[in-house]
Amino acid sequence: MFYEGRRGTLYSMSMKKLWFRRKTYGWGWQPATWQGWLAVAVFIAAVFLNFYRIDSASHSASDTLINFVPETFILSLALILVCYLTGEKPRWQWGKKSKIKAIIFDFQGPIVQFGDWRAFLEQRGFSKEQQIEWKEWILRYYEDAHAGKWRSMEELLRIQRPPAGLDGETFLAIQKEVNDLRYVKPETVEWLKELKRTHALALLTNYTADLGAVLAGFGLQSMFDAVVNSYDVKMTKPDPRMYALVLEKLGVTSEEAAFIDDNEKNVQVAEALGIRSIKYGSFEQAKTELAALLRA
């Protein structure tokens, strides 16, 4: 299956790594993985074996040529089909990749950080077992809320008991205090402001219905030129359609964007779609790696 964006770029739904990349110079492909190199090797071996078979049965050079050319043409078409199905969409280009025009951020991790919620719950007198139960309940809620099933915890609490033996009202009050442990580093805000002077910025995040309120709370409501939130589109990363959607909103191609996320699988899918990506480990690491990408 494929999703076709406004600019005509096809994004594979398979999430498999591309076997072939577009050539830097000219039109066509070059192998990007061992599968790609194997496909080329099989093609070359097939051409040589076919030539040997035809030549052995021919009575003249002209007979060999008459039979060899059309069969080689068919093999070449087969290789082109393999490249098209497992590689980037080809186009004519001459030189380096396109200049990066937009930077796409995950929200939780690269931008917003979370304080030590375990220490907070421990200070409130919750045991290790209750903390584990709390975490599991919250993770299940967020998994469904990110996909658009729940608009708020209140909705879930109508049909499901809260964790740690609490009543709903007490749980919600404590969870609000836990959510207040979120923070954005001042240096992150300055970094975003600096990048915004020269690039379009976007958020591509698995988040809940209150993303807009959270952004406003940190003064970031006007920082991003495009926002794709899983709750709104009813799909979650690493679904390739989310990446296609944010590119379409930004009006850029995959080669004109950079992506920063703290989840390895999300980064791998972005790379497979042709988006230059950085796995977030720390503020300084991400800032340094992005600067190197923008200079390239």
Look at residue 3 and tell me if it is in a domain. no
For the chain, what's the residue count? Answer: 296
Look at residue 147 and tell me if it is in a domain. yes
Assess whether 121 and 147 both reside in one domain: yes
What mean pLDDT is predicted for residues 240-249? 95
Q: Are 240 and 273 in contact (CB under 8 A)?
A: yes
Q: What is the model's pLDDT at position 60?
A: 83
Assess whether 196 and 256 both reside in one domain: yes
Q: What is the model's pLDDT at position 18?
A: 77
Q: Which range is least confidently modeled, 49-53, 99-103, 231-235? A: 49-53
Domain residues for the domain of 210 are: 102-111+184-295
Among 90, 124, 142, identify where a domain stops: 90
Q: Which range is least confidently modeled, 127-131, 202-206, 216-220, 292-296? A: 292-296
Token pair recorded at residue 39: 């496909």
Assess whether 143 and 268 both reside in one domain: no
Structure confidence at residue 43 as a pLDDT band (50, 70, 90): very high
Assess whether 24 and 124 both reside in one domain: no
Q: What rounded mean pLDDT belongs to the chain?
A: 89
Q: What is the model's pLDDT at position 96?
A: 60
Assess whether 107 and 222 both reside in one domain: yes
Look at residue 7 and tell me if it is in a domain. no
Among 144, 179, 214, identify where a domain stops: 179
Nearest to 232 by CA among 211, 214, 213, 202: 211
Look at residue 11 and tell me if it is in a domain. no
Assess whether 280 and 192 both reside in one domain: yes
Assess whether 163 and 206 both reside in one domain: no
* Stated pTM of the model: 0.70
Counting the structural domains of the chain, the total is: 3
Assess whether 157 and 188 both reside in one domain: no
- The string of pLDDT tens digits covering residues 5-34 is 333 333 333 345 678 887 877 888 889 888
Assess whether 164 and 219 both reside in one domain: no
Assess whether 199 and 268 both reside in one domain: yes
Assess whether 275 and 210 both reside in one domain: yes
**Torsional sign, CA 240, 246, 252, 256:** negative
Q: What is the model's pLDDT at position 8?
A: 35
Token pair recorded at residue 137: 């309940």
Assess whether 33 and 49 both reside in one domain: yes
Look at residue 95 and tell me if it is in a domain. no
Q: What is the model's pLDDT at position 9?
A: 39
Residue 242 in this model has a pLDDT that exceeds 50: yes
Proportion of the chain in helix, strand, coil states, percent, rounded to 5: 50, 15, 35
Residue 236 in this model has a pLDDT that exceeds 60: yes
What mean pLDDT is predicted for residues 164-168? 93
Q: Are 182 and 114 in contact (CB under 8 A)?
A: yes
